[in-house]
Structures are given as C-alpha cells and as structure tokens.
Amino acid sequence: MRSSASRPLLKAALWDMDGTIVDTEPYWIEAERTLVEAHGGQWSHDQAMQLVGQSLVFSAGLLQEAGVAMERRDIINTLTGHVVSQVRKSVPWRPGARELLDELYNAGVRCALVTMSEAPLAREIVASLPAPYFDFLVTGDTVSQGKPHPEAYLKAVELLQQQDPDLSHHHCVALEDSAPGVAAAVASGVVTVAIPHIVPLPHDPRRATWDTLEGRTVADLEELVALRHEFPDATFGLDADAGSVARTTASPVRG
C-alpha cells in the first residue's frame, strides 16, 4: 500500500468502448450497410465514417436520410441487435486494453465505462472481461445528449464523486478513439488520451495522443494526471518514440 503522502493523483479511468476497448466498428458498419441496402439504398465507406463515435440517435437520423424507412428507436434496436449477435460469436479486443484494465483494477484505480452504445451491448462486453473492472456504466441510453456533448463524462465524474467527494475531473483520465469522443472528454475537463482508430484525428494540444494501448501502464496515466495538477493550463503533446510527455504553459486551453 502507498502512504497517503505518495498516493497517486490518478483516481479514475473513464473508458470509451467501441474502438477503444473493442474493435466493434466493423460490426456497426456491416449492420448499417445491411439495413440501408434492405431499404433499397446504398451505404458508402464515407457515410459509415461519419457515424464513428457518434450517438446512436444521431446515427439513426443519418440512416433515415439514407432511405431507411423506420423510426429511430427501431433503427437503434436493429443495429444494436446485430452487433450484440456478432459480439456473442467473437469479441474483437483492441491491443493492450484488457491488460491496462487489469493493471488499473489491481492498482485500485476505479474505472467507468462511458459509451454511446446502449446497455445491452455494453453489458455483453463487460461480461466477457475476466474481472469486475468497471464500477458502473454510462451508456448512450442513460444520457439525453450524446458525444461530442460532455454530458456522459460529466455524469461519470458525478457518480464517482458520490463515493469520493474529494475527487475532481483533474483526478480522472479518459481514453477515447474518435473525434466526437475526444471532444466530449476534453469539454468535460478530464485529462484526455486519444488512441486514434478507424478515423484519423486532427491535432489538438488539449489531449495526449497514443498510437496504441499496448505496453501502456498505470504509471503513464499517472504522469499525465500529475502534469495536469502541476501545470493546470498546460497543453499536451506526446513524443511517440520516447513515450515522454511534452508540455507548454504559454496559455490556457480551456475557457
């Protein structure tokens, strides 16, 4: 056990799911294409890329525009059902995700799942993990505004604070792969790590960027959170080769 004096500033990790923990995006794209084609339309790669990281309500709206003559709720249920059936056959884990989850769990760092997927799919993924890594799930059907709005991350921080009133967003790090997810995490004020997948992300000094979770450790997350505490107005950068965090303090990055 660490003494209170040396207790790490990292208290919680907030995990995106699709594209970060599991590579389910191909399942979603297949579900979208199948549904659009069943309604006589065509679904392009570019259209599919517009939905990566978005809320299911937003996605259902674009599918309606593509010719799917169904209510949004029915579209969401159809897509989710397809992906759940695929996950039950094979869970496509992303490199390093389970290993980092396991290390966080053993280190006593609380974890929450913050995903725009709905509870049926999220529960399938969580049930496939070898230990109860997540304290709770914030899913797309439990928030009124999906990513890129920060509501889901703000809700996660509030739930964490119910057991630890001293916790703030500065003690939390979010792990995200998509532009909407990164935008939501950054807007919530938590330390944000982007692990781009499927869709390249534009440069944003307000978050760190890792090529992969493979080989990453709790110490790496602690370093980012400690940097935020030491330099509240710092911007983040990452030297991918050395794995060292760069910082500048020229100006604040959040209003």
**Using one digit for the tens of pLDDT, what is the confidence trace for 131-164?**
999 999 999 999 999 999 999 999 999 999 999 9
Predicted local distance difference test score (pLDDT) of residue 8:
57
40-to-28, 31, 44, 47, 66 alpha-carbon distances in Å:
19, 15, 13, 16, 9
94: DSSP letter? P
Output the pLDDT for position 239.
Answer: 36
The alpha carbon of 48 is separated from its chain's Cα centroid by a whole number of angstroms, namely 18
**pLDDT single digits (tens) 223-239:** 999 988 888 776 765 43
For 131, half-sphere exposure in the C-beta direction (CA atoms, 13 angstrom radius) is 13
Of 130, 246, 114, nearest in space to 177 by CA: 114
Which residue type sits at 200? P
Task: Say how far apart CA 204 and CA 115 lie, in whole Å.
Answer: 21
Q: Domains of the chain: which residue ranges?
A: 4-23+96-248, 25-89
Please tell me the distance from the alpha carbon of residue 55 to that of residue 188, in angstroms, as a whole number. 17
| Nearest of 173, 181, 215, 217 to residue 197 by alpha carbon | 181
Query: What own/partner pairs with CB < 8 Å and gap ≥ 24 does 241-249 have?
Result: 245/208, 248/205
Q: Residue 152 corresponds to which amino acid?
A: A
Of 24, 28, 57, nearest in space to 152 by CA = 57
Tell me which amino acid residue 72 is. R
Q: Beta strand 136-138 with 110-114: parallel, antiparallel or unpaired?
A: parallel
130: left (phi over 0), alpha (psi -120 to 50) or beta: alpha
Pick the CATH number of 4-23+96-248 from 3.40.50.2020, 3.40.50.720, 3.30.530.20, 3.40.50.1000: 3.40.50.1000
Query: Can you name the residues that pair with 197 across neighbouring β-strands?
Result: 199
Fold topology of 25-89: DNA polymerase; domain 1 (1.10.150)
Tell me what pLDDT residue 200 has.
Answer: 86
Q: How many CA atoms lie within 13 A of 209 on its CB side?
A: 18
Predicted pLDDT of residue 31: 96
Written as tens digits, the pLDDT of the chain (255 aa) is 343 445 459 999 999 999 999 999 899 999 999 999 999 999 999 999 999 878 899 999 999 999 999 999 999 999 999 999 999 999 999 999 999 999 999 999 999 999 999 999 999 999 999 999 999 999 999 999 999 999 999 999 999 999 999 999 999 999 999 999 999 999 999 999 999 998 889 888 899 999 999 999 999 999 999 988 888 776 765 433 324 444 333 222 223
**CATH topology of 4-23+96-248 equal to that of 25-89?**
no
> For residue 54, which phi and psi values (nearest 5 degrees)?
-85, 165
CA distance 49 to 210: 21
**Which letter does DSSP use for residue 251 in this model?**
S
Distances, alpha carbon 245 to alpha carbons 14, 67, 184, 215, in Å? 20, 46, 22, 16
Please state the separation of Cα 167 from the chain's center in Å: 20
